[in-house]
Amino acid sequence: MSGGRAYSATLAKDLIRVEVGTILYALEVARIREIVNPLPVIELPRERPFVLGVADYREQVVAVVDLRRLFGLPAQETKRRTKWVILETSGMLVGVVVDAVLDVFSSAENPQRDVPVLDERHHGRGITSAYRRGGRLVFLLDPERLVEPAMAIHPRDMPSLPSEAP
């Protein structure tokens, strides 16, 4: 029976599939703290329009990065499917805004594929590789590279926010 257990471990659902615009992306489940509905954002002065500001998430101040804007897509009003994926990176939490969270899947289901560098913005997009899922390519994102723009907001410079909890 140990062979069956090892096989099922390799097929563990370790990636979550999200949608930004018409493109499918994946994030590692192990890096996700929680998926939440959008919270109120406090806008702070900043140079990068894809860093929306900060929010109070469970008594912690988190920077919020809009993946639509980061990837050069037009801003979009929050819809019912819009979610924040709270990622654990470099010792801090960061919220990334996605158009929709679709499902979880196993990276072992099909081989990982390399992605060509198409332009100078490749590094900023944080795409590391691709998988095929449901007949479409799904691009794996590196959370560290996604949140680099938000790291410019040092935690000591973030305001003290009142809790959203009653």
| Whole-number Cα distances in Å, 84 to 40, 94, 113, 134, 141 | 12, 9, 27, 23, 15
pLDDT higher at 2 or 11: 11
Domains of the chain plus CATH, in order, are: 2-157 (2.40.50.180)
Contact 43, 53 (CB under 8 A): yes
pLDDT digit string, tens, across residues 72-117? 899 899 999 999 999 998 778 999 999 999 999 999 887 888 887 7
Q: Which two tokens stand for residue 16?
A: 């979550």
pLDDT band at 156 (very low <50, low <70, confident <90, very high): low
Report phi then psi at 129, rounded to 5: -165, -175
Contact 114, 129 (CB under 8 A): yes
Sign of CA dihedral 166, 98, 134, 141: negative
Residue 25 pLDDT: 96
Contact 109, 11 (CB under 8 A): yes
Residues 6 or more apart in contact with residue 38 via CB below 8 angstroms:
78, 82, 83, 84, 97
Residue 1 pLDDT: 42
pLDDT digit string, tens, across residues 29-83? 999 999 999 999 999 877 778 889 999 999 999 999 999 998 889 989 999 999 9
- Flag whether pLDDT at 152 surpasses 90: no
Strands 136-141 and 83-89, by their bridges, are unpaired
How much of the chain, in percent, has pLDDT values that exceed 90?
51
